[in-house]
Structure 1
Amino acid sequence: MNYLVVRSTVLLCGFSAAIAAHAQAWPNKPIKFVVPFTAGGANDLMARAAAEGASKVLGQPVVIDNKPGAGGSLGAELVAKSPPDGYTFLISAAGVISNHMIKKSMPFKESDLVPVAMIALSPSIIVAPPNATYSNLKEFVEASKKSPDGFNFATAGTGSTPHFVAEILKSKYGAKLQVVPYKSGNESATAIMAGQVQATSEASIVSLPKITGGKMKALANTWTTRISSYSQLSTATEQGFPEVKIAHWAGVHAPAGVAAEIMDKVAAAVDAAMKTPEIANRLKASGIEPIGGTRASFNQFVAEEKARLAAVVKVSGMKED
Structure 2
Amino acid sequence: MRRIRRRSLVQGASLLAGAGLLSMPAAVRAQAAWPTRTITIIVNFAPGGLTDGIARVFGEYASKKLGQQIVIDNKPGAGGNIGAALVARAAPDGYTFLHTVSGTMVQNRVLYSTLGFDPDKDFVPVSATSSGELPVAVHKSVPVSSIAELIDYARRNKVSFGSWAPGSAAHIVCAKLNELYGLQMEVVHYRGEGPMWQDMGSGSLQAAMGSYQALRPLLVNGTIRLIALPARRRNAKFADLPTMTEQGYTHAAFSQFGWLGLFAPAGTPPDVVRRMSALWVEAADSEGGRKMYDTFGLHEKPLTHEEMAADYERLKARMLPLVRELGVKLE
Q: Into which bin does the TM-score normalised by the smaller protein fall?
A: 0.7 to 0.9
Equivalent position of 2:174 in the other structure: 166
- Rounded to whole Å, the distance in 2 between the matches of 1:251 and 1:167 is 25
Secondary structure class of the residue paired with 1:182: strand
Residue among 181, 188, 191 paired with 2:187: 181
- Rounded to whole Å, the distance in 2 between the matches of 1:16 and 1:175 is 64
Equivalent position of 2:291 in the other structure: 281
Residue among 107, 113, 131 paired with 1:98: 107
Is structure 2 residue 118 aligned with structure 1 residue 109?
yes
- Rounded to whole Å, the distance in 2 between the matches of 1:229 and 1:60 is 35
Equivalent position of 2:227 in the other structure: 219
- Alpha-carbon deviations, 1:230-261, whole Å to 9, x = none? 33323334434452234674220111111222
Secondary structure class of the residue paired with 1:91: strand
Mean Cα displacement is larger for which, 224-233 or 159-168? Answer: 224-233
- Alpha-carbon deviations, 1:52-74, whole Å to 9, x = none? 12223333222212222222211
Instruction: Decide whether the 8 Å contact of 1:50 with 1:119 is kept in 2.
Output: no
Counterpart amino acid of 2:169? T
Shift of 1:156: 4.6
Is structure 2 residue 133 aligned with structure 1 residue 123?
yes
Tell me: CA distance 1:316–1:36, structure 2 relative to 1, closer, same or farther (3 Å): closer
Question: Percent same amino acid at aligned positions?
Answer: 28
Residue among 30, 49, 55 paired with 1:47: 55
Tell me: CA distance 1:128–1:229, structure 2 relative to 1, closer, same or farther (3 Å): same
- Rounded to whole Å, the distance in 1 between the matches of 2:296 and 2:64 is 23
Is structure 2 residue 72 aligned with structure 1 residue 64?
yes
Tell me the TM-score normalised to structure 1 length.
Answer: 0.81
Shift of 1:288: 4.8
- Alpha-carbon deviations, 1:2-25, whole Å to 9, x = none? xxxxxxxxxxxx999875554343
Equivalent position of 1:266 in the other structure: 276
Tell me the TM-score normalised to structure 2 length.
Answer: 0.79
The structure with more radius of gyration = 2
- Rounded to whole Å, the distance in 2 between the matches of 1:290 and 1:52 is 20
- Rounded to whole Å, the distance in 1 between the matches of 2:198 and 2:313 is 34
- Alpha-carbon deviations, 1:171-213, whole Å to 9, x = none? 5xx2333241335256655665676665332332222221232
Counterpart amino acid of 2:108? N
Secondary structure class of the residue paired with 2:107: helix
Secondary structure class of the residue paired with 1:229: helix
Tell me: CA distance 1:187–1:307, structure 2 relative to 1, closer, same or farther (3 Å): same
Counterpart amino acid of 2:47? A
- Rounded to whole Å, the distance in 2 between the matches of 1:188 and 1:75 is 19
Counterpart amino acid of 1:261? D
- Rounded to whole Å, the distance in 1 between the matches of 2:242 and 2:144 is 15
Mean Cα displacement is larger for which, 181-190 or 96-105? Answer: 181-190
Secondary structure class of the residue paired with 1:232: coil
- Rounded to whole Å, the distance in 1 between the matches of 2:59 and 2:194 is 26
What number of residue pairs does the alignment pair up? Answer: 304
Equivalent position of 1:86 in the other structure: 94
